[in-house]
Amino acid sequence: MPETFRALLVTRDEDKKQSVAVAEMTEDDLMEGDVTVAVEATTVNYKDGLAITGMAPVVRRFPLVPGIDFAGTVVKSSHVDWREGDQVILNGWGVGETHHGAYAGLARVKGDWLVKLPPQITPFEAMAIGTAGYTAMLCVMALERHGIAPERGPVIVTGAAGGVGSIAIAILSRLGFHVVASTGRTSEEDYLRDLGAAEVIARDELSGPARPLGRERWAGGVDAVGSHTLANVLSMTSYGGAVAACGLAGGMDLPASVAPFILRGVSLLGIDSVMAPLSLRREAWGRLARDLDRAKLASLSTTIGFGGIVDAAHAIVEGRIRGRVVVDMAK
């Protein structure tokens, strides 16, 4: 292990003004944990953008290394499940929020937070998937458990050009679904169709106040937006359908009616990726290794170096990022 390594550190002054800067750290600066990982790749998620810009109170302990997920190699372990040389993935568990996260050369975490990197996936592919893609798969699995299958009808994906949306489209289309992609960036139509979207609709169709019930348009959906968008999606979901909700890019409120639930039997499925149990995580990553076309994964991701993280964080909260951003920590 190196004696020192670079890290991105978020701090806050006495006036609670947040700032971010590159710092040199040592292993002694890391937090508690029984596994130390050399971080090879990470990513910039929407939540990471909020953490770095301070636009939402994601970071709840200062100073802190942000970054909610990483892939890398174990360099030290006292945990029974992990040995030096194991390749692992981490998503969530408060890392990058209350525990030093991914934007550093080393991360010390609890071994119970780690998942084995599937042999079919490289660390960089794992971070092209990242929390966004892992969350998308949790959404798909929830819809499947509710009985939503291709023969039930179309499915809607909101925030389609974002990380969750892009990977949800790629997975659902490969599973045989007719995917309707909703986006505020209609210039991305070719990109979304290349991922597998059968239809692309403008975000404006779903962004206004929702009627209690609208015309039945889809059997299910994956929503990363919330607020009026989710309310509209629910109002247009067909009888017995279900919508997996996993994001709040449009707001935390839900100005909806109970009508879809009590008149059409629609279900709203809440998806939490941060504290999901290991059994669900392992299943999701196994499914991602099997059901995600890695050629499409390459087309929806771009790679930056460590020095590009802050700029990417600002770009993602401003809606200027398409798909996924992979960070090569060696650059």
In the chain, where are the structural domains located?
5-117+300-328, 131-270
Per-residue pLDDT tens digits for 163-185: 999 999 999 999 999 999 999 98
Ordered per-residue pLDDT tens for the chain, 331 residues: 678 999 999 999 988 899 999 999 999 999 999 999 999 999 999 999 999 999 999 999 999 999 999 999 999 999 999 999 999 999 999 999 999 999 999 999 999 999 999 999 999 999 999 999 999 999 999 999 999 999 999 999 999 999 999 999 999 999 999 999 999 988 999 999 999 999 999 999 999 999 999 999 999 999 999 999 999 999 999 999 999 999 998 999 999 999 999 999 999 999 999 999 999 999 999 999 999 998 899 889 999 999 999 999 999 999 899 889 999 999 9
Fold of the 131-270 domain: Rossmann fold (3.40.50)
State the pTM of this model.
0.91
Helices (H), the chain: 46-53, 123-145, 163-174, 189-195, 204-207, 227-235, 259-263, 278-291, 294-299, 309-317
Nearest to 233 by CA among 41, 255, 191: 255
Whether the domain at 5-117+300-328 and the domain at 131-270 fall into the same CATH topology:
no
Q: In this predicted model, what pLDDT tens digit does every residue of 190-212 receive, in sequence order?
A: 999 999 999 999 999 999 999 99
Are β-strands 155-157 and 218-223 bridged in parallel, bridged antiparallel, or unpaired? parallel
CA 168 to chain CA mean position, Å: 10
**CATH domain 5-117+300-328 topology:** Quinone Oxidoreductase; Chain A, domain 1 (3.90.180)
